[in-house]
Structure 1
Amino acid sequence: MPFTFNINDYDNVEPLPLPLEDPSGPALCSIMYSDEYKEALGLLRRLLLLNELSVRAFNLSTHVIELAPAFYTAWNYRYRVVEHLVAEESKLVGDPSAPAVWLNRELDWLDEFTLSNPKNYQIWSYRQALIANLHPQPALARELPITQLMVDDDSKNYHVWAHRKWACAHFADWSHERRFALTYIQRDPYNNSAWAHRLATWSHDPWDSEDAFTAEFEWTKELIARVPQNVSSWQYLRGLCALHKWDQKLLQRCTQLCEQYNDESSYALEFYGYLCSRDDVNRGQDAVAAYEKLAETMDPIRSGLWRHKIELLRSKHN
């Protein structure tokens, strides 16, 4: 049987009607599904009930997913079918690597489908399951082009950034990612996904010297100086320092940096409040003053949060 959907392949399958098609049901109104959709879903529901794991089940899942790209049940069923077919082919040929060509075709199909459905997160969990569990010869090089293409199209597509991070972690290779993230930060300093990705590179591939950390710290300071009211750069700095060992020298550097921007950046003031509230800094009154300023003028929308932090500090020192 070819890997192409043909309705005639299901002549011996009685579709299982959708629940809302029952006129005696409790629904206030019925969803106006197309006849094509009702037929496809009816067939899928029947094959699911029969637990049929076949080529025609695979073809049906393609058809249903093309009709309803976010239908998680269809993706899950497709994976179980692929898992079964891969095992059967490996057994038949006697070679565990035999399904690689077929799985590469599946990834090719996914690439094309993903480009037409960029905000669909089911795609990525399915793709990761194929790579992690079924593909005998997976490769990071297979994952990078599609993610770059999609990030170029939408530089803040969280699902794509998350998959790229997953792929780098899965293959334990972050060698190209620092520069990759830098490209998008330079294009848009507010791109939080790019900042988070760059921070992940340090988490998985730490600096090999204090000079390397200092260089990254100074680079971040430069980005902060360009756009002081940018939560992404301040959060990055905070995360970077958390990966480094907090010592008095680093605490002082961060405190002095915040003091430069406390009057123009609520994020600097927030970081400053955090630093002053630490036990190893012990400047509780300065922290209270920072949170009061945030609550009253710099960030009144979150005044409840800042008042709560003030109460915690006061109860701690009473």
Structure 2
Amino acid sequence: MHGVKRQTQQAIVDRKQREKSKIEGLLKLTDAVLDRKKGKDWSAEAFDATTQLLTVNPEFYTIWNYRRNILLNGLFRESTPEDINELLSGELALTMKFLQSHPKVYWIWNHRQWCLQNVPQGPGSDLDGWRKKYWAFELQAVEKMLNADARNFHAWNYRRYVLANMSVPRPESSELTYTMKKIESNFSNFSAWHQRSKVYTSLWHQGKLDPIKSKEKEFELVRNAMYTDPDDQSIWMYHRWLVGLGHDKELLEREIGVIQELLEEQPDSKWCMESLVHYKRLILTNYPSDRDKDLVADCVRLLDQLKDIDSARRHRYEEIHRAVVNISTHP
């Protein structure tokens, strides 16, 4: 093609040879490290070999397990708490480097968590020792990762772990502020919505927040999000969670009315239709009345529309259709 440099035959041969040599080198290194593992080699040389291999393949969970065994059975054995602290600092630095290019590899996050669990006690109490320093740093580190990718669910899971284990607990109200910031920047952040549900559940369980007032505030937030981006699944999933906390008939009818108004503005909104069917089915199931026929007719009409606009899930909608009809014929 014009303007595109063609590779010469020799260049192609050279590239393939380099790739072949790289693969052969990786296989040789893998065999060598696995031989050390089989022989229960807990030496510094074995440790360095795992670094080489994980640098090439950070998803090799067997090698991460071997690396931890080297630390526990070898390098930690004759070390002072200060030495162990230095080794773990190196591990955290290494995993952070890996996460820059592999932010969604579970085994890297897992190793980082293991490091925190093995930080030796510092001088004085936990509040004044090394653990306090590590947990504070980890919260900052994971926030940087979420700034780079606010929807990285591995980072969100790790954040929950850090918050649950900090020596000085972070006020949960701060986490509501943090999730709000992430949601406002992108309504499609399912992990932020999920984190928000976890925080509210904890606050309600502890009696630290009025559930009625806070739930109403969340409904208002979700309604605004629905009107801003009615096609975003994350918003609707959070709405269902809110409704599911106490789906009395009055609440269901209120939210159906809100969604119906939105559907009039967005007549092809799949999520509006799906949610209307979902909530009307809840009324049919839990609050049978003489309006059942009308509700069934509404659900059938909406399901017919869904089969047209979302044909890939046609069989699913047909299954729901049968379930709706079954409710009306077998109360």
TM superposition score category, shorter chain reference: 0.7 to 0.9
Listed as ranges, the matches of 1:47-86 within 5 Å are 47-85=36-74
CA distance in 2, matches of 1:98, 1:65: 23
User: Secondary structure of 1:205's match?
Assistant: helix
Listed as ranges, the matches of 1:110-259 within 5 Å are 110-132=95-117, 134-136=118-120, 137=131, 139-171=134-166, 173=170, 174-206=172-204, 208-209=209-210, 210-242=212-244, 244-259=245-260
2:279 to 258, 265, 275: 275
Q: Contact 1:231–1:267 at 8 Å: present in 2 too?
A: yes
The amino acid that maps onto 2:300 is V
The amino acid that maps onto 1:217 is F
CA distance in 1, matches of 2:247, 2:160: 26
Asked if 1:290 corresponds to 2:302, the answer is: yes
Q: Contact 1:275–1:281 at 8 Å: present in 2 too?
A: no
Deviation at residue 33 of structure 1 after TM alignment: 5.0
Q: Contact 1:65–1:71 at 8 Å: present in 2 too?
A: yes
The amino acid that maps onto 1:291 is L
TM-score with structure 1 setting the length: 0.78
Q: Contact 2:91–2:115 at 8 Å: present in 1 too?
A: no
Identity %: 23
Deviation at residue 147 of structure 1 after TM alignment: 1.8
Q: Contact 1:155–1:191 at 8 Å: present in 2 too?
A: yes
TM-score with structure 2 setting the length: 0.75
Asked if 1:310 corresponds to 2:321, the answer is: yes
Query: What is the root-mean-square deviation in Å for CA atoms of aligned residues?
Result: 2.6
Deviation at residue 123 of structure 1 after TM alignment: 0.5
CA distance in 2, matches of 1:101, 1:205: 37
Unaligned stretches of 5+ in structure 1? 1-30
Superposed CA offset, 1:144-170 (max 9, x none): 222221222223323222322333345
Q: How many residues align?
A: 281
Q: Contact 2:259–2:272 at 8 Å: present in 1 too?
A: yes
Q: Contact 1:261–1:269 at 8 Å: present in 2 too?
A: no
Unaligned stretches of 5+ in structure 2? 1-18, 121-130
Deviation at residue 183 of structure 1 after TM alignment: 1.8
Deviation at residue 83 of structure 1 after TM alignment: 2.8
Deviation at residue 213 of structure 1 after TM alignment: 1.7
User: Secondary structure of 1:156's match?
Assistant: coil
Asked if 1:32 corresponds to 2:20, the answer is: yes
The amino acid that maps onto 1:59 is D
The amino acid that maps onto 1:267 is W
The amino acid that maps onto 2:249 is Q
Deviation at residue 116 of structure 1 after TM alignment: 3.0
2:84 is matched with 99
Superposed CA offset, 1:47-85 (max 9, x none): 011022232222211111112222222112112222324
User: Secondary structure of 2:286's match?
Assistant: coil
